[in-house]
A and B are shown apart, each in its own frame.
Chain A
Amino acid sequence: MGYAHAFVATLSLAVATSGWSEELQLEQDELRFGFIKLTDMAPLAVAYELGYFEDEGLFVTLEPQANWKVLLDRVITGELDGAHMLAGQPLGATIGFGTDAHIVTSFSMDLNGNGITVSNEVWRAMKPHVPMGADGKPLHPIKADALKPVVESYRAAGKPFNMGMVFPVSTHNYELRYWLAAGGIHPGYYSSADVNGQSGADVLLSVTPPPQMPATLEAGTIYGYSVGEPWNQQAVIKGIGVPVITDYEIWRNNPEKVFGVTEGWAKANPNTHVAVVKALIRAAMWLDANANANRSAAVEILARSEYVGADAAVIANSMTGTFEYERGDKRSVPDFNVFFRYYATYPYYSDAIWYLTQMRRWGQIGEQKTDEWYAATAKSVYRPEVYLKAARLLVEEGLANEQDFPWTTDGYRAPQSEFIDGVVYDGRLPNAYLESLAIGLKGTDTPASRELVSAE
């Protein structure tokens, strides 16, 4: 109840100064946003529950969606004004992979927050190949090298090795593929003839909605999966699987969900868009404030049935800076969920370009594109102008600190090297980056030409 009082206090302050609606003439104040039941929807729930939306004069309804496809379709048809989206969704839709619609984003919702879980059976087979520390516990990060012999034994026995991910353009798909490929396991190519992305694959990946992952794993349809929280912690707590690695260890501080709207909506509602981003920035700040001091309050909000709805203990496991691998092997991962630190909410072009390189790497983009194409596509989807305008207003209103925002960035993070395989990523040189990855399409490859090569 603490934040209810805090909220009333904020509101009366806002009423006293009444500075919320003068600067921004809202085009629309009744909005409907969609989300998927994952802990990284937290900025939306917090902005609603703490009254940040109302402070901006916005009356927002939050609505859980059945799966990522339904969510995207409903944003496109206008049933939803905006939504919690996979970073790949606005990009994929804009370049016409899967769905064709121009979606834009001005707000990154978080960094990290995903994990890869395997079934108990696979874990038992994997464990002998995992390096152990002096304390007898597995040394992290666990590389896919340990999984490779298991996959080979399944394949030798004629059993396809199936794994689940949440959507073809999801972060989880690319992270799982990155991890597998870094361990020498081929996750398969997409092509116009193979929309499931299984050509030449050692491991067959397929789509399962996040909340169904544990049940699908338990049913034996898949042997492992890559998904956001709380569905990895759910598996270990219910004793049906073992999380082996977090995405923080695959690529430290990788960009995750974004808040997406259609280009048409953004054009028609420029001020409303800024107001929404203002509320979301405040929510993100609250989530990371005072070294995650508010996280247990956030867990209480997320555990309500209208938001994530899983048991509070399961959500708390990852939201409060820890992560449980094997049952009882709970380790400290303070940056498992990052909502605001490290400029997490700024929509960097280089983040967009990394996703585009992965679409190219796995054949979702069938032919070579120039570096300029990558930059131009990123610019047409990621809209930092709106973000900076919102941030400026917050600083002027005294609600945020000047130094918390990257005012002068050109939209490219410095080259990043904190990947599990140590390959360096520079968003300015996407083609060179593709060349540096061992498995995957590069240069003038097409999915068909690579298949021929691997068949030989």
Chain B
Amino acid sequence: MQMLINRVNPYLALLGLGWLVPIMKIASGENLAQQLRDLWQQLGVPLLAIGLFLAVWGGIAARIDTSLGGVPGPAAVWHEAQNLVVEHQAERERRAEFYARQEARNAAALAENPAAEVRVRRYTGKPTYLDQILTSLATVFTGFLLGTLVAVPLGVLAGLSKTVNAAINPLVQIFKPVSPLAWLPIVTMVVSAVYVSSEPLLQKSFVNSAITVTLCSLWPALINTSLGVASIDKDLMNVGRVLQLGWFTQVFKIVLPSALPLIFTGLRLSLGVGWMVLIAAEMLAQNPGLGKFVWDEFQNGSSESLARILVAVFTIGIIGFLLDRIMLALQAAFTYSANR
């Protein structure tokens, strides 16, 4: 039992469930006082802090009056979160009705003229909040993937060769701090000029947002990869040379595995940056994700708008946290196997 607990401990900590450990230890009959202290540290304090935060928020919110009404407190935000789910369900019903109507229409057309060409059109209603979350995730992963495909190879090259590093370093330093808001107009114009097709597979707004995410998020991955590669133990590289490994074998058997922990650190930072800039990019590019949701609600200016925007704030925060945890878990998994 003891061994089992010790073995799962790091994984639970990784998932943010470290507080389960004291509970399990209590169950297995360990020193109660010590475990309770641990439990208080790991579970009690955070819960208390959240409770305190909600209380302070509720207290302050009620005092601030904006032209859209008071700042919503926790209860109003929770209410709107439920509302968004209800709206999602209502919209799904409308979608079902839409397809039923279309089926009836197609059937009627076929009955009249069996040769009539009928096809099923996509539902034309609004995307719901859940659809918007999925769009945002798809956008950020597309941008992140593109960024990774550029950053990791470039980082490996920069890490292996001082010359390449000297060449790209100034550019990296210049572009790294640029805000998505500055990239977006340029990306928009370039995409409009280059991405021309009568039946586009992807919407331009999606492409614009994804590329903006790429431009902002590839730097941490690039820098960390080159750092990771550059700081590989020289002995290891020399072994490769002694064995007269080919360049590719050298990279894939020695360089990448050794640099993996730092590459993952970079990717994790990149994904974080990507998720953060995505919202701004979506607002401006009108990509139908969370950013557009926030913008539309701000434009609506109804008495529920602020509460709905706060729902989005928490959604963005929680998803960002989960993405970070997933990357951390991946990093841990790969690092362990690489070290074994």
Q: Show 16 A/B contacts (Cβ-Cβ < 8 Å), sorted by A.
A: A18-B112, A21-B109, A37-B299, A37-B300, A59-B121, A62-B124, A65-B286, A70-B286, A77-B192, A212-B299, A214-B301, A218-B67, A238-B67, A303-B302, A306-B126, A308-B300
Q: Are A309 and B101 also in contact (CB < 8 A) when A77-B192, A215-B67 are?
A: no
Task: For the A-B complex with A48-B124, A70-B286 known, give 8 more contacts whose Cβ atoms are closer than 8 Å.
Answer: A11-B104, A30-B122, A37-B299, A66-B295, A79-B203, A240-B67, A305-B297, A306-B126
Q: Give the complex CA separation of A62 and B288 in angstroms.
A: 12
Question: Chain B: which residue is nearest A36 at the CB level?
Answer: B299
Q: Inside 8 A of A212's CB, which chain B residues have their CB?
A: 299
Give CA–CA (A178, B109) in the complex, Å.
54
**Contact flags (1/0) for A307-321 with B, using CB distance below 8 Å?**
011110010000000
Annotate B274-296 by CB proximity to A: 1 below 8 A, 0 otherwise: 00000000011010100000011
Q: Does B325 contact A (CB under 8 A)?
A: no
Tell me how far the C-beta of B209 lies from the nearest C-beta in chain A, rounded to whole angstroms: 13
A residues with a Cβ closer than 8 A to B are 11, 15, 18, 21, 29-30, 37, 48, 54, 59-66, 70, 74, 77, 79, 209, 211-212, 214-215, 218, 234, 238-240, 303, 305-306, 308-311, 314
Interface size bracket, B side = 20 to 34
Which of B112, B302, B308 neighbours the largest number of chain A CB atoms within 10 Å of its CB? B302
Residue of B nearest to A235 (CB): B67
A60 pairs with B124, CB closer than 8 A: yes
A309 x B204 contact (CB < 8 A): no
Contacts A59-B121, A306-B126 given; indicate if A214 touches B296 (C-beta within 8 A).
no
Inter-chain contact A234/B300, CB cutoff 8 Å: no
**Do A66 and B284 contact each other (CB < 8 Å), given the known contacts A15-B105, A215-B67, A309-B297?**
yes
Min distance, Cβ A292 to any Cβ of chain B, angstroms: 23
The residues of B that contact A306 with a CB separation of less than 8 Å are: 126, 296
Complex contact B67–A214 (CB within 8 A): yes
> B interface, by DSSP: helix, strand, loop or mixed?
helix
Contacting pair A309 B67 (CB below 8 A): no
B314 on the A face (CB < 8 A) = no
**By the criterion CB–CB under 8 Å, are B300 and A211 in contact?**
yes
Residue interface bits B106-124, CB-to-A below 8 A is 1, else 0 = 0011001000000001101
B139 sits at the interface (CB 8 A): no
Taking Cβ atoms with an 8 Å cutoff, the residues of B that contact A are 67-68, 87, 101, 104-105, 108-109, 112, 121-122, 124, 126, 192, 203-205, 283-284, 286, 288, 295-303, 305, 308
Q: How far is the CB of A269 from chain B (nearest CB, A)?
A: 13
Tell me which residues across on chain A come within 8 A of B283, comparing CB atoms: 66
B109 touches A309 (CB 8 A): no
Q: Which of chain B's residues has its CB closest to A20's CB?
A: B105
Q: Cβ of B126 and Cβ of A30 under 8 Å apart?
A: no
Q: A21-B109, A309-B296 are in contact. Are A61 and B124 (CB under 8 A)?
A: yes
What separation, in Å, do the CA atoms of A280 and B303 have in the docked complex?
30
Contact of A238 among B68, B105, B192 (CB under 8 A): B68
* Contact partner, B301, options A21, A79, A239, A310, Cβ 8 Å: A310
Minimal beta-carbon separation of B286 from chain A (angstroms) = 6
* Contacting pair B121 A211 (CB below 8 A): no
A279 to chain B, nearest CB (A): 13
Cα A48 to Cα B124 with chains together (Å): 9
Nearest CB on A from B189, distance (A): 10
A309 to B295, CA, bound (A): 12
Question: Would you give the shortest CB distance from A159 to chain B, in whole angstroms?
Answer: 23
* A239 CB contacts on chain B under 8 angstroms: 67
Distance to closest chain A CB from B46 (angstroms) = 34
Determine how close the nearest CB of chain A comes to the CB of B154; give it in whole angstroms: 32
Neighbour of B298 across the interface among A62, A79, A211, CB < 8 A: A211
**Shortest beta-carbon distance from B27 to chain A in Å:** 48
B284, closest chain A residue (CB): A66
**CB <8 Å contact, B301 and A234:** yes
The residue of chain B having its C-beta at the shortest distance from the C-beta of A305 within the complex is B300
Closest residue to A218 on the B side, CB-wise? B67
Q: Inside 8 A of B68's CB, which chain A residues have their CB? A: 238
CB distance from A324 to the nearest CB of B (A): 16
How far does the alpha carbon of A311 sit from the alpha carbon of B303 in the complex, in Å?
A: 7
For the complex, give the distance between the alpha carbons of A63 and B292 in Å.
11
Report A-chain residues with C-beta under 8 Å of the C-beta of B204: 77, 79
**Residues of A close to B303: CB separation below 8 A:** 311
Residues of B within 8 A of A30 (CB): 121-122, 124
Residues of A within 8 A of B301 (CB): 211, 214-215, 234, 309-310
A60, A62, A305: which has the most chain B beta carbons within 10 Å? Answer: A305
* Contact of A15 with B108 at beta-carbon distance under 8 Å, contacts A77-B192, A240-B67 already known: yes
Q: A15-B104, A66-B286, A218-B67 are in contact. Are A211 and B205 (CB under 8 A)?
A: no
Which A residues touch B205, using CB under 8 A?
79
Q: What's the Cα separation between A308 and B301 when bound, in Å?
A: 9
Residues of B within 8 A of A214 (CB): 67, 301
- Determine the chain A residues whose CB is within 8 A of the CB of B105 once the complex forms: 15, 54
Which residue of chain B lies nearest to A308 when distances are taken between CB atoms in the complex? B300
Residue of A18, A61, A310 near B108 (CB, 8 A) is A18
Q: Is the CB of B300 within 8 A of A309?
A: yes
**Quick check: B192 and A59 within 8 Å, CB to CB?**
no
Query: Which A residues touch B299, using CB under 8 A?
Result: 37, 64, 209, 211-212, 309
Give chain B residues whose Cβ lies under 8 Å from the Cβ of A59.
121-122, 124
Q: How far is the CB of A120 from chain B (nearest CB, A)?
A: 12
Per the bound structure, the CA–CA distance linking A35 and B275 in Å amounts to 28
Contact across chains for B124 and A310 when beta carbons are under 8 A apart: no
Contacts of B308 in A (CB 8 A): 305
A64 surroundings in chain B (CB, below 8 A): 296, 299
Contact of A311 among B67, B101, B104, B302 (CB under 8 A): B302
